[in-house]
Structure 1
Amino acid sequence: MAFTLRQLRYFVAVAEHGSVSRAAQSLAISQSAMTEAIKHLEEDLGVRLFDRHPRGLAITHKGHLFLRHATSILAEVSGAQRALAERDRDITGALHLGVTSLMAGYVMSDLLARYRRANPQVEVSAIEDSGDYLEHLLIGGELDVAVMVVSNLHDKQALQVEILDVSPYRLWLPIGHRLTAEDSIGLDDLAGEQLIMLDIDEMGEAAMTLLSALGQRPRIAFRTRSVEAVRSLVATGAGIALLPDLVYRPWSLEGDRIESRDVSGSLPVVQVGMAWRRGSPLSQAARDFVAIAKGIQEGRGR
């Protein structure tokens, strides 16, 4: 088994965009180079990473498993490059972090593990709470940095923001749903559908605002604070969901498939990032946390 970092970067880009053309555009390379790299990677691994269909590519179960390893490898390489460029002196002191519920599982866990390996002498503490409360703690100087959804901050003038990712909303559907066969899906196609709502990090509020534009009250089948519950409910046909692509995974815990589709219209996007108090100098420990987070994202995008 022999594959290159370039192949891994191309694979991650295709998995995130669901299309060779969009992935190639994001990395400013030709589609043919992208296609050839993915083909050779599948041959090297001896598995099919994507299923091809007229609308693009759908990642396979084996591809989904490999994606976790690929993103981890790229992040480690970026971290190693950053570490070699830094001064030799170990960083000490304390780091006080905040994180919202959604970010705790999808962003913070991996980031925190990498930070602790790079800075074992820093005493790290973290608190999980709502975005509003984390803003309060940041402005009050009780937190150094918070990892959160930064697209809906209430006090933007008081906070400095570094965006790590931008995730569009997409539609989640069970296998066999009538909308999976449509070439184009609009918001009006969702009228009358049973909806599964995720009520963390203002996801539910954003979806409700969006669907209220249809001119009728959305039919809510289930409200939950668990992303895994949303996956299971959608996969078993209890309803559909509108959620940021950040949290999409093609299978529920029970192994049932979940389809994801673009929806035409003015859908919001979720900006994931870090925030800290504007005008307040960051400690070396906090600056390194920000640098590691940026390095992970840059490693994925190369």
Structure 2
Amino acid sequence: MMSLRQIRYFIAIAETGSVSAAASTVFISQSTLTMALRQLEDELGVELFVRHAKGMELTHSGHQFLRQAHLIMSAVDNAKRSLQQSTDDIVGELNIGVTSLVAGYYLADLLSRFQRIYHKVKIRVVEDEREYIEHLLVSGELDVAVLMLSNLEHRSALNTEVLTYSRYHIWLPPEHQLLEEESLSMDLILKEPQILLSTDGMEQRIRDIWQDTCAMPDIAMKSNSVEAVRSLVSAGMGVAVMPDMTYRPWSVEGDRVEAKRILDVSKTLDIGLAWRRGGIRNLLVDHLLEVARESMSKPSLLNQ
């Protein structure tokens, strides 16, 4: 039967990328750790890692199980915390980085939940471009960051945890002819003028989706502002491929925006936390992770 010890060992391997480093982290022998992992894989009936000369790499099943493993350990830690200690004893400073697009949709809720529990912890937030936030993480100037994980450059130097997946939808003005279609393909969508969101690496993300088709889109306008994209779509200036985390049905002017699922787009925008791999970690990061796991996996306004 699966045990909490096996789950803890699995997380250690996933975070360090090797059995030897994980064994040092959890203070057991490599052989014991290897046996525990083999037993866990046998119990689950899947391979969690691909073994290679440079270490251990998570399989697709491994990534799926890592998320569940974190949720399990978070629930256990929360149960212990509620029985053993008050959060009044937890003090310190937590330096958090965030990118502009993510800040507008996730940060306020996450930090308000964290501060309600850990009200004696001082929080400092740095908002900047992803490249600079990554630099601050790797250099140790930030403890943790909330950002899009889909296009990280220094992934090998960072531990990451996906907290939510945002699918892509097409935004349309009310009464647009495409709203009458039962399902929409990219070929059909790209016949319309496109409004392109260009902030926080989104332009390249959307262009990658476009490239999966043979059509050449007509870009009517580009904007760094989600609200500008929303207003332009509602005014009938074009349509926009957008992650569903940004959707709400009304523009600033009060005009309606409709959204429909795109039939042949399976890519998602992965939102989560990143922190430096190796070295001494600010223990407050673990508390933020616990709160994030509980608060950030919320259903979208759109059908998944």
Same fold at TM > 0.5: yes
| 1:285 and 2:284 aligned | yes
More moved, 199-208 vs 93-102: 199-208
Aligned to 1:263: 262
| 1:142 and 2:134 aligned | no
User: Secondary structure of 1:166's match?
Assistant: strand
Q: Deviations over 1:115-166 (max 9, x none)?
A: 2232232221111111121111111111000000012211211111111100
Aligned to 1:99: 98
Aligned to 1:196: 195
**CA–CA separation in structure 2 for the residues paired with 1:135 and 1:97:** 11
| 1:112 and 2:111 aligned | yes
**CA–CA separation in structure 1 for the residues paired with 2:119 and 2:262:** 45
**CA–CA separation in structure 2 for the residues paired with 1:124 and 1:250:** 33
**CA–CA separation in structure 2 for the residues paired with 1:178 and 1:213:** 24
User: Secondary structure of 1:172's match?
Assistant: strand
| Residues matched between the structures, number | 222
Distance 1:233 1:112, change over 3 A: same
Distance 1:300 1:220, change over 3 A: closer
Aligned to 1:84: 82
More moved, 174-183 vs 190-199: 190-199
TM-score (norm 2): 0.68
Aligned to 2:158: 159
Cα contact 1:139–1:159 (8 A) shared by 2: yes
| 1:181 and 2:180 aligned | yes
User: Secondary structure of 2:89's match?
Assistant: coil
Give unpaired runs (5+ residues) of structure 2. 1-77
Give unpaired runs (5+ residues) of structure 1. 1-79
Q: Which amino acid aligns with 2:121?
A: V
Q: Deviations over 1:193-243 (max 9, x none)?
A: 111111112111111222234334321112111111111111111110001
Distance 1:176 1:136, change over 3 A: same
Distance 1:219 1:300, change over 3 A: closer
How is 1:1-302 mapped onto 2 (pairs within 5 angstroms)?
Answer: 84-85=82-83, 87-88=85-86, 89-297=88-296
User: Secondary structure of 2:90's match?
Assistant: coil
Q: Deviations over 1:50-83 (max 9, x none)?
A: xxxxxxxxxxxxxxxxxxxxxxxxxxxxxx9897
Distance 1:86 1:245, change over 3 A: farther
Q: Which amino acid aligns with 2:136?
A: L
Q: Which amino acid aligns with 1:97?
A: I
Q: Looking at CA atoms only, which structure, 1 or 2, has the larger radius of gyration?
A: 2
Q: Which amino acid aligns with 1:87?
A: Q
Q: Which amino acid aligns with 1:225?
A: N
More moved, 183-192 vs 236-245: 183-192
Distance 1:125 1:86, change over 3 A: farther
Cα contact 1:235–1:256 (8 A) shared by 2: yes
**CA–CA separation in structure 1 for the residues paired with 2:85 and 2:131:** 36
Aligned to 2:60: none
Q: State the 1:262 CA deviation.
A: 1.2
Q: Deviations over 1:247-279 (max 9, x none)?
A: 111111222211111112244210100000112
Cα contact 1:175–1:235 (8 A) shared by 2: yes
Q: Which runs of 4+ in 1 moved over 4 A?
A: 80-83, 298-301
Distance 1:299 1:86, change over 3 A: farther
User: Secondary structure of 2:296's match?
Assistant: helix
Cα contact 1:91–1:284 (8 A) shared by 2: no
**CA–CA separation in structure 1 for the residues paired with 2:213 and 2:298:** 40
Q: Percent identity?
A: 40
Cα contact 1:212–1:218 (8 A) shared by 2: no
Q: State the 1:167 CA deviation.
A: 0.9
Alpha carbon RMSD of aligned pairs, Å?
2.2
Cα contact 2:101–2:199 (8 A) shared by 1: yes
**CA–CA separation in structure 2 for the residues paired with 1:285 and 1:191:** 46
